[in-house]
Each structure stands twice: as C-alpha cells, then as structure tokens.
Amino acid sequence: MPRISGDTRFQRAIWAAALDRRAMADAYNHKGPEAEKALADAKAVLALRGRRLADLDEEGREYAFLALVWAEQWEESLAESHPAGSAERQGAARTAAAYRKLRLRRFGKTAFETMLEGAVPVPITDLFKKGNGPGGGTEPGKSEGEQAHS
C-alpha cells in the first residue's frame, strides 16, 4: 500500500477536526461564546481545504496545528466509543495515531505535552495521605500551630 503524504493526511484531518468543533458547539447547545468560538474554528479549519501545509501563512499553520489536535481528539473519542478489539476501534485508533505523528513531525508538541514531560507521576492514594488532603493534614478544629504542640 502506498504511503499517504502529509498533505493528504492533513486534508483528511480537516473533516474530523470540523466534526470535533461542531460537537463542541453542540455541547453548548450552540449558545454562548464557547459555541460561537467552536463554530468559528470549524469554519477556519474548513477554509484550509485544498491547501498544502508548506504553503500556509502563520494563521493557517496555527489552524493546521489545531486541526490535527482536534482530528486526533475526534478519532480517539470515536475509537473509545466502539467495543474493545473491534475493527472500528482499531481503525479509529490508527487514524488518531497517524494524525498525532503528523502533528508532532510538522509542528511539535502542544504546550501541555511539553509541560507533562517534566511531571512526576504520583499515585492518587498518596494525595490522600495525612498532610496532603484539604487543610494540609490538620485535625478538624485545630490550627497547624495547635496541632504541632499536641
């Protein structure tokens, strides 16, 4: 099977990205600034149809990056909506991975992905050990100073 070019994959991602943004507007019942922004983003992404990644201006590159993020989200959600092991789930997961690979190759990581690189995983149970919960581990009704002298 011939390899799909980045531009062809990007053109395929545009439709998934537009669907993702329309679903976001649906989540807000097409009302309010969030819904308006999502619909404007869908329109901006659809305006990239037929354009090559190398020919995009700065705004076009920003929307191309976002389109690949949103298409990846759409395909991951689609994959999760199908039963484990199903052909549909596997196909959507492969498509999401291909969008991610293209995004990383052409544009790099999101700010959040970069931030996560330096993060240290902490087991959730450690967050609830004495001293880490709400109130910093103080006993109810006692200040930290009172607890230290008990």
CB neighbours of residue 39 within 10 Å: 17
**Tell me, what DSSP letter sits at residue 6?**
H
Residue 63 lies in a domain: yes
Q: What's the pLDDT score for residue 52?
A: 96
Residue 141 lies in a domain: no
Residue pointed to by tokens 């009172």: 146
Closest alpha carbon to 38 in 53, 51, 49, 27: 27
Confidence of residue 103 (pLDDT cuts 50, 70, 90): very high
Average confidence score pLDDT of the chain: 88
Residue 143 lies in a domain: no
Name the residue range of residue 66's domain. Answer: 6-136
Is the pLDDT at 97 greater than 60? The verdict is: yes
Q: Which pTM does this prediction carry?
A: 0.77
Is the pLDDT at 144 greater than 60? The verdict is: no
Residue pointed to by tokens 């976001």: 24
Q: What's the pLDDT score for residue 3?
A: 86
Q: What's the pLDDT score for residue 61?
A: 95
Confidence of residue 2 (pLDDT cuts 50, 70, 90): confident
Mean pLDDT of 125-129: 81
Residue 142 lies in a domain: no
Residue 145 lies in a domain: no
SS3 assignment for 92-129? HHHHHHHHHHHHHHHCCCCHHHHHHHCCCCCCHHHHHC
Q: Give tens-digit pLDDT for 11-30.
A: 999 999 999 999 999 999 99
Number of domains into which the chain is organized: 1
Segments in 47-86 forming alpha helices (H): 58-80
Run of H or E including 87 = helix 87-106
